[in-house]
Amino acid sequence: MKKVISGVVALLLCANVYAQNFWQDYPFLNLTPEKANSRFSFVSVNGGLNFGTDAVNNGFLTHLYRGGYMDSLFVENAASQLLPVNRFGVHTEVGITFGITLKDSLHSILTFSLQKRNNISGKFSDDAFRLGFQGNSQYKGQEADISGTRFTSMSWTQLRFCYQSMQSPRSVLSFGFSVLAGNQYHEANVNYGKLFTDSQGLFVDGSVYAEYYSSDTANRAPFDVNGFGTSVDITWTYYGKTTVNTSQTFKLDILDFGFINWNNKTIRRYVDTTFHYEGVDVTPLFTNPDYVVELPDDGDFVKTDTSEIHRSIFLPGVVRATYTRSFFGRKLTLKALAAVPVWSYAVPFGSITLQYKIPRIKTAVSSGIAYGGYSRLQVPFKIDFYAVNNFSLDAGTTNLLVFFKPDELAGCGAFVKLTYCF
């Protein structure tokens, strides 16, 4: 019971979760052939946060966040789960959307939405983790390689316009265009980094080529504007042969294809250096307590350069294909999804879910298995509630297992969307 309660708390702490468009049906409304001749408007509010990693588990991250004591055995247990290349990602957003059907022969829907979005992602080697949490003593006579370590953090405000229309009785095309206001941006790239430790621990040799970028340090408020950009979303849906008892749909999404151009106050720092460090001889302290030990300055062996530049960054986009098929009077629906992230550190994502509709209480529940993105095995769960006239609620979690093994899993997530039609 304690683990279940911990799982609930962990999920609530991740309230309003959104899975970087891997399997959420957003931003477009489902304009099915059955709805094509109806007239309506709607307003929708949504929120989400999704965290995932294929490296350490939630128990380790909780200790790290709270500043709890971590002994060598605890750290080694976490390090034993590492892959040669490890990834992590956090995506949050909250927004509101208004939509209205148009009086035209294409049965069109026009939507406007305002979103506040944040994305943090990165990747690192197992050597980078061990150096950071265990030091270099275990690398005596060896070379640690931290090359390829990456970290990117961006936040932006998005104004999106979407147009959705029936192209034929069986197909729907949706196009969205967004204007982006970049709020905050940070990026660190270790293009090359190696550290050799002498077998006797007498010296270390290192070489590093790394870059760091940051948006205007004078504008740090959440809604300060430090750049502008645009993005597009395109969705094509094809409805196959439909009967009273069955239906099938194929959908192709291209989402968040765009960029933000950060202004000329963006700071760039880079390090390109090699160094040899023999430490400090403290022997004289044993005979003369007043002896002054001269510590080397970082600048003696790490050379940096700083400048202000423009910088353009792609959004973390995704290309996604979905196939759904309904059975038994459309009460049961099978969905298979495959997604390929672009301009992102995430790996390809796939899921298979099964939805069951309960007409008596006007509710549908779905669950299944998923793998990839920033996490490994996941069990998504979603509930669609439409019992109240003109009102619907979509909510769920990207990993139901967090309820039962909150400390052993890597990542968690949840999302919610409320829609009112009028």
Copy the structure tokens of residue 60: 């380790």
Compute the average pLDDT of residues 389-393: 86
Number of neighbouring beta carbons within 10 Å of residue 326: 20
Which residues have C-beta within 8 Å of that of residue 100, sequence separation ≥ 6? 41, 42, 109, 110, 111
Which band of pLDDT confidence, cut at 50, 70 and 90, is reported for residue 36? low
> pLDDT of 358-374, one tens digit each?
988 889 999 999 998 88
- What φ, ψ does residue 315 adopt, rounded to 5°? -75, 155
Whole-angstrom Cα distance, residue 91 to residue 115? 13
Which band of pLDDT confidence, cut at 50, 70 and 90, is reported for residue 201? confident
> pLDDT of 116-149, one tens digit each?
999 999 999 999 999 988 888 889 899 999 999 9
- What φ, ψ does residue 389 adopt, rounded to 5°? -55, 130
Pairing label, strands 317-327, 347-358: unpaired
Least confident piece of the model among 17-31, 205-219, 376-390: 17-31
H or E element that contains 277: strand 247-277
For residues 336 and 322, the answer to whether their CB atoms sit within 8 Å is yes
β strands within 282-410, DSSP E:
304-314, 317-327, 332-342, 347-358, 363-373, 375-378, 381-385, 391-397
- What φ, ψ does residue 239 adopt, rounded to 5°? -100, 120
Which band of pLDDT confidence, cut at 50, 70 and 90, is reported for residue 2? very low
Number of neighbouring beta carbons within 10 Å of residue 116: 17
* pLDDT surpassing 70 at residue 298: no
Residue of 7 and 87 predicted with greater confidence: 87
Give the three-class secondary structure for 149. strand
Count of structural domains, the chain: 1
Number of neighbouring beta carbons within 10 Å of residue 39: 10
Radius of gyration of the chain (CA): 26
Least confident piece of the model among 142-151, 247-256, 295-304, 373-382: 295-304
> pLDDT of 219-269, one tens digit each?
999 899 999 999 999 999 998 887 778 889 999 999 999 999 999 999 999
β strands within 198-246, DSSP E:
204-214, 227-239
Whole-angstrom Cα distance, residue 44 to residue 382? 17
Number of neighbouring beta carbons within 10 Å of residue 200: 8
Copy the structure tokens of residue 47: 């929120």
Task: Reply yes or no: is the peptide bond before residue 27 cis, omega within 30 of 0.
Answer: yes
Compute the average pLDDT of residues 174-192: 96
Whole-angstrom Cα distance, residue 176 to residue 231? 8
For residues 402 and 396, the answer to whether their CB atoms sit within 8 Å is no
Give the three-class secondary structure for 57. coil
> Which pLDDT score is estimated for 262?
98
Number of neighbouring beta carbons within 10 Å of residue 263: 17
Task: Find, among 18, 148, 178, the residue nearest to 90 by Cα.
Answer: 18
Enclosing domain of residue 243: 2-421
Is the alpha carbon torsion for 161, 166, 170, 171 positive or negative?
Answer: negative
* pLDDT surpassing 70 at residue 296: no
The per-type count for the chain, helices as H runs and strands as E runs, is 5, 18
